Structure 1
Amino acid sequence: MPLLLPVLLAACSPDSSKKDPVAEAQFQNEKRIGDENVTEKQERDAEFVVNAASDGMLEVELGKLAQQKATNPAVKTFGQHMVEQHSEANNALKALAGRKSLVLPASLGQEQQETYSKLAALTGTEFDKQYMASMVKDHKRDADEFEDMSEDAYDGDIRGFAAKYAPVLKEHLDMAEKLNDQIEELP
């Protein structure tokens, strides 16, 4: 825990708002790993944890947005499902990161914020279509990454986390693909 205090204090400083939270978390972890002379595999584990946290936060925020903006009831329900399941995974990841002294981003990174802003600007069925297309793309990438890390992570706890949530992400991908196929038909 001692490592987290300086990071939390730095995160509260006035000019920290100019930094990308995801890049800052990656930097803090790389710095600690470099200081401790840790292996490349451990660097990959830390990068995976930061990316999983960042993607998980985005899924929750986009799910909330879908609950507000979607016109199709199935898309609203899907958004609610994403909020519930990704919040659970995010909480488990925060606990894991705390045990491993890894820094997680405090908010959406620049790339995730751009995705959120792009979708927030849409309305009607255009929102539904773009949201579901984004869910398919994001869950394909995440399911693959979690599957890989369930076998390749250096740390057993991180490997276990990835193994636990890889099937959940695959289920989300299947749901997103089916719903996306239905939504694409809308005018």
Structure 2
Amino acid sequence: MRCSYRTLALWGSLLMLAAACSPEQGQKDPVAEAQFQNEKRIGDENVTEKQERDAEFMVAAASDGMLEVELGKLAQQKATQPAVKTFAQQMATQHGEANAALKTLAEQKGLVLPASLGREQQETYRTLSGFTGTQFDKEYMARMVDDHKKSADEFEDMSKDAYDGDIRGFAAKYAPVLRDHLDMAKEVDDQLEDLP
């Protein structure tokens, strides 16, 4: 009897600990939550996999776009090279405009977008925040090259493959802009090569 009481007490303690450690509503990952809401709606409406891919693209584009704006603001404060500051200012402005267009489109389509940076994006922001001087410039620009390559490829794919015509149009409109950003990022990144 004592053994089972101990076991029950142990389980009770573990359950209380688990409840105390579980993330509260405000601590959910906004990106994961947006994906979940869209998947739930799509599941309820019994729509196709292609429409699900459209929703995933929209959430990814929103979270990546928000990160570009936040990193652009950070780089305007921390960058040491004028070319990096100029690039960062353009990224904050142009991605901000694209984010607004994306938000409008998502509202028209009844899709949920993350309201703030997801955990992965927050981690990227924190990591870059830890750099200073020319090391920050180099890390930021290397990140911009990688991010814009990935985004430009994804937008180009979706400009052909998106199920929804408006989402296809959005991707087609911004794919060349992202390619331009990639070219600019490579150019600035090359200028930093010889810096200590």
2:32 to 1, 7, 23: 23
Q: 1:144 — aligned with what?
A: 153
Partner of 1:105: 114
Q: Is residue 125 of structure 1 aligned with residue 134 of structure 2?
A: yes
Query: Is 1:94 aligned to 2:97, yes or no?
Result: no
- Aligned residue pairs, count: 174
Task: Report the CA distance between 1:151 and its aligned residue.
Answer: 0.3
- 1:140 deviates by 0.4
Correspondent of 1:43 among 35, 52, 58: 52
In the other structure, the counterpart of 1:185 is 194
Distance 2:129 2:40 in 1: 35
Structure 1 residue 160 displacement after superposition: 0.2
Shift of 1:18: 1.7
Q: Kindly indicate whether residue 76 of structure 2 is the aligned counterpart of residue 70 of structure 1.
A: no
Secondary structure of the residue that 1:142 maps to in structure 2?
Answer: helix
Q: Aligned AA for 2:86?
A: T
Q: TM-score, normalised on structure 1?
A: 0.92
For residues 184 and 42 of structure 1, what CA distance do their matches in structure 2 show?
A: 43
Deviations 1:129-184 (A, max 9, x none): 00000000000000000000000000000000000000000000000011111112
Unpaired runs of 5+ residues, structure 1, are: 1-13
Distance 1:50 1:171 in 2: 22
**Structure 2: which 5+ runs fail to align?**
1-22
Give the distance between the partners of 1:71 and 1:16, measured in 2 at CA. 39
Q: Over alpha carbons, which structure has the higher Rg? A: 2
Give the equivalent residue in structure 2 for 1:6: none
- The DSSP-based 3-state class of the residue aligned with 1:104 is coil
2:31 corresponds to which letter in structure 1? V
**Which residue of the partner structure matches residue 34 of structure 1?**
43
> Are positions 1:156 and 2:161 aligned together?
no
Superposition RMSD in Å: 0.9
Residue identity opposite 1:96 in structure 2: L
What is the CA–CA distance in structure 1 between the aligned matches of 2:190 and 2:101, rounded to whole Å?
31
Residue of structure 1 in register with 2:89 after alignment: 80
Q: Does 1:56 align with 2:65?
A: yes
Which amino acid is the alignment partner of residue 16 of structure 1? Answer: Q
